């Protein structure tokens, strides 16, 4: 058993040497769970953390293929099957030169929690290869995908592992792999998501992650009585997530001023409208060109080579490119330039220092585990429609996606309350500064509606220290070391004990439901 977070991280780093991205992801989650685990040491004795951070299976294989010149090339393929406690493994395939076991383990680990938040029965996994589809012909991509699937097919299935697309894996790549899977297995099953519509794909699967990110940002604004309409938005990336995040922002009346790729970013002060976005989509999806070509077409825009768009003045920032693209200095610059909201479209795009700055400055911040869960949610819907042999309309899928994102935001509000790491006091996950002031312990006990209930709670061993927020449904949320006590002011007869967002997901994955430790003492640290 480990006495501190550092002790546990020493264990993780010793078992997984050199995997810095995986270490970062584990540290972020464990840090949010630690106080609760210390108060309930039986979880530590059961080795819950060790079980959660260890993938169930890690598959690595050789991928030989032939280029257009007739030369044989060799790449390395992976599939990390992380956790199947609540459903078959589910997560994307990434084709990019940066792919290694550390990145895939971090992505698979995050995917476990993200998938549980959707409320759909999906486990977590991730895979891919260090292959770069950029500048490759369709024939080369096809031959690589067929070779990749020739090995992968024996490890996946509709009830085992259902991969999807990710960076470098779009409709073209999914199509080639799905065709090879059908040929090898002699069956048509929903084993891959992100397929074309003619093969059983969802009508808004490519749009889902980008749409979901914007829906989540809109929910955060709505919670504070505001709207994303009229806001200036800066977006990084120019793949599916960034493209459709921009599309949804435009539809909701926001002004998008930037997009990027690995070469740099474009800044269009006039705003990227539907016509300009169509040009970008054609440029990136069909011509597979560089974002810098935008300024040749629209000469009022500027291209900043080798930079990211976080120096621009904006109201909303949507990092939709890759991990660790927003540093602590970037965060300070965003805040200085008036940014009010950050919603992560990519996986772990903000470094720990950046997240700290957002919390300290009461900025609306949506972690990728929640805000980019729209993609995997619609993947789950695609799995469902494949099983049913039935297709929903575009409007139906979009509405289901919106409802899922609203419910995820509600879960963040209800279970994700926490304390900021500085003197600013309590801060909310997925929320900002417009909260009622907290009551002190003395005020709680003196409150006429609570006095009798407080006495009852004290008699059974509970200690109320601080109320974070009064809800519209006549309840108050009391926080303490990762636990919430919801006090019903109207009934005055009982309480409901629940856990934080991460802990709720953890218990759903590894513990029987309905277990509440006895003699739990609620003390606000």
| Greater pLDDT, 150 or 501 | 150
Helices 352-360/20-39 angle, 10° precision: 50
521 pLDDT exceeds 70? Answer: no
Total number of residues shown for the chain:
525
Strands 232-236 and 316-319: parallel
Contact of 153 with 125, CB cutoff 8 Å: no
Contact of 168 with 141, CB cutoff 8 Å: no
Angle at 411 between CA 407 and CA 412, to 5 degrees: 120
Contact of 454 with 445, CB cutoff 8 Å: yes
524 pLDDT exceeds 80? Answer: no
The distance in angstroms from the start CA to the end CA of the chain is 22
Q: In the sheet that 475-480 helps form, which strands lie side by side, from edge to edge?
A: 467-470, 475-480, 483-488, 495-499
Helices 328-336/352-360 angle, 10° precision: 30
| Greater pLDDT, 433 or 380 | 380
Q: Which residue has the tokens 């629940």?
A: 498
Residue among 518, 479, 520 at smallest CA distance from 501: 479
Q: What is the 3-state secondary structure (H, E, C) of 442-478?
A: HHHHHCCCCHHHHHHHHHCCCCCCCEEEECCCCEEEE
- Give the pLDDT score at 33: 84
**Token pair for residue 142?**
């096809």
Cα 389 to Cα 145, 379, 382, 383, distances in angstroms: 26, 15, 10, 10
Angle at 273 between CA 271 and CA 275, to 5 degrees: 140
Residues 6+ apart with CB under 8 A from 140: 65, 67, 68
165-211 confidence digits (pLDDT tens) = 888 998 899 999 999 999 999 998 889 988 877 777 778 878 889 99
16-20, 31-35, 68-72, 155-159: least confident range: 31-35
CATH architecture for residues 57-199: 3-Layer(aba) Sandwich (3.40)
Average pLDDT over residues 271-299: 94
Average pLDDT over residues 109-135: 92
Taken in order 222, 276, 319, 245, the sign of the CA dihedral is positive
- Give the pLDDT score at 277: 97
| Greater pLDDT, 34 or 518 | 34
Average pLDDT over residues 298-304: 95
Distance CA 71, CA 191 (A): 31
The two domains 221-364 and 441-510 share their CATH topology (first three levels equal): no
Residue 442: pLDDT band (50, 70, 90) is: very low
Contact of 115 with 132, CB cutoff 8 Å: no
Average pLDDT over residues 256-274: 96
- Give the pLDDT score at 195: 83
Instruction: Identify whether 336 is a catalytic site residue.
Output: no
464 pLDDT exceeds 80? Answer: no
Average pLDDT over residues 288-309: 95
Share of the chain above pLDDT 90, in %: 57
- b/e per residue 25-62 (b: at least 16 CB within 10 A): bbbbbbebbbbbbebbeebbeeebbeebbbbbebbebe
- Give the pLDDT score at 305: 95
Q: How does the average pLDDT of the chain come out, rounded?
A: 81
Eight-state DSSP code of residue 232: E
Contact of 63 with 151, CB cutoff 8 Å: yes
509 pLDDT exceeds 50? Answer: no
Residue extents of the structural domains in the chain: 5-52, 57-199, 221-364, 441-510
Within 13 Å of residue 206, how many CA atoms lie on the same side as its CB?
A: 18
87-91, 114-118, 135-139: least confident range: 114-118
Eight-state DSSP code of residue 302: E
Q: Which CATH number fits domain 221-364: 3.40.50.300, 3.40.50.720, 3.30.1490.100, 2.60.15.10?
A: 3.40.50.720
Rg (alpha carbons) of the chain, rounded to whole number:
24
Taken in order 46, 420, 20, 346, the sign of the CA dihedral is positive
Residues 6+ apart with CB under 8 A from 230: 253, 254, 255
Q: Which of 126, 255, 284, 419 is catalytic?
A: 126
- Strand ranges for 98-254 from DSSP E: 124-129, 161-165, 232-236
Specify which of 62-71, 369-378, 384-393 reaches the highest per-range mean pLDDT: 62-71
Residues 6+ apart with CB under 8 A from 367: 344, 355, 429
Distance CA 25, CA 27 (A): 6
- Give the pLDDT score at 510: 36
- Give the pLDDT score at 378: 87
**Token pair for residue 24?**
């970062």
- Provide the CATH topology of domain 441-510: TATA-Binding Protein (3.30.310)
Distance CA 480, CA 466 (A): 8
For residue 59, list its beta bridge partners: 79
CA–chain centroid gap for 167, Å, is: 15
Within 13 Å of residue 46, how many CA atoms lie on the same side as its CB?
A: 11
Distance CA 464, CA 482 (A): 14
Average pLDDT over residues 283-289: 90
CB atoms within 10 A of CB 7: 10
Taken in order 190, 196, 200, 202, the sign of the CA dihedral is positive
**Token pair for residue 482?**
């990762």
Q: Which residue has the tokens 């060109």?
A: 289
Specify which of 44-48, 95-99, 501-505 reaches the highest per-range mean pLDDT: 95-99
Specify which of 37-51, 258-272, 361-375, 439-453 reaches the highest per-range mean pLDDT: 258-272
Distance CA 311, CA 316 (A): 12
């Amino acid at each position: 058993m480990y006495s501190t977070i550092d002790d546990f991280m020493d264990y993780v780093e010793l078992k997984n040497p050199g995997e810095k991205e995986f270490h970062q992801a584990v540290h972020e989650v464990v840090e949010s769970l630690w106080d609760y685990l210390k108060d309930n040491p039986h979880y530590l004795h059961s080795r819950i953390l060790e079980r959660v951070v260890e993938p169930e299976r890690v598959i690595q294989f050789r991928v030989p293929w032939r280029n257009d010149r007739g030369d044989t090339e060799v790449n390395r393929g992976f599939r990390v099957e992380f956790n199947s406690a609540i459903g078959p493994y589910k997560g994307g395939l990434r084709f990019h030169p940066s792919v290694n076991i550390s990145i895939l383990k971090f992505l698979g680990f995050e995917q476990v929690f993200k998938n549980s938040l959707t409320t759909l029965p999906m486990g977590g996994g991730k895979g891919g290869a260090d292959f770069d589809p950029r500048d490759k012909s369709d024939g080369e991509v096809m031959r690589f995908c067929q070779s990749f699937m020739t090995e992968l097919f024996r490890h996946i299935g509709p009830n085992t592992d259902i991969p999807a697309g990710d960076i470098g894996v779009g409709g073209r790549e999914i199509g080639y792999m799905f065709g090879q899977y059908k040929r090898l297995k002699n069956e048509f099953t929903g084993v891959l998501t992100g397929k074309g519509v003619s093969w059983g794909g969802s009508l808004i699967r490519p749009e889902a992650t980008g749409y979901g990110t914007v829906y989540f940002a809109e929910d955060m604004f709505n919670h504070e009585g505001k709207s994303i309409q009229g806001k200036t938005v800066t977006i990084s990336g120019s793949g599916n997530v960034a493209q459709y995040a921009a599309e949804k922002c435009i539809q909701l009346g926001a002004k998008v001023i930037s997009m990027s790729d690995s070469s740099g970013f474009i800044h269009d002060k006039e705003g990227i409208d539907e016509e300009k976005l169509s040009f970008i989509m054609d440029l990136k999806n069909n011509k597979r060109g560089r974002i810098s070509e935008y300024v040749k077409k629209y000469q009022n825009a500027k291209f900043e080579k080798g930079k990211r768009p976080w120096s621009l003045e904006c109201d909303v920032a949507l990092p939709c490119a890759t991990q660790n693209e927003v540093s602590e200095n970037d965060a300070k610059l965003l805040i200085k330039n008036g940014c009010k909201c950050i919603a992560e479209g990519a996986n772990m795009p903000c470094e720990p220092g950046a997240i700290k700055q957002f919390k300290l400055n009461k900025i609306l911040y949506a972690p990728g585990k929640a805000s980019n869960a729209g993609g995997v949610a619609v993947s789950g819907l695609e799995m469902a429609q494949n099983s049913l042999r039935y297709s929903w309309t575009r409007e139906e899928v979009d509405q289901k996606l919106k409802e899922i994102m609203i419910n995820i935001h509600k879960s963040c509000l209800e279970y994700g309350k926490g304390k900021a790491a500085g003197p600013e006091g309590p801060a909310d996950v997925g929320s900002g500064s417009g909260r009622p002031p907290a009551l002190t312990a003395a005020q709680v006990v003196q409150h006429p509606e609570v006095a009798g209930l407080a006495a009852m709670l004290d008699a059974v061993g509970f200690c109320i220290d601080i109320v974070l927020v009064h809800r519209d449904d006549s309840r108050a949320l009391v926080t303490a070391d990762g636990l919430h006590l919801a006090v019903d002011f109207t009934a005055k007869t009982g309480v409901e004990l629940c856990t934080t967002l991460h802990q709720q997901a953890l218990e759903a994955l590894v513990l029987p439901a309905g277990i509440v430790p006895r003699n739990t003492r609620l003390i606000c640290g």
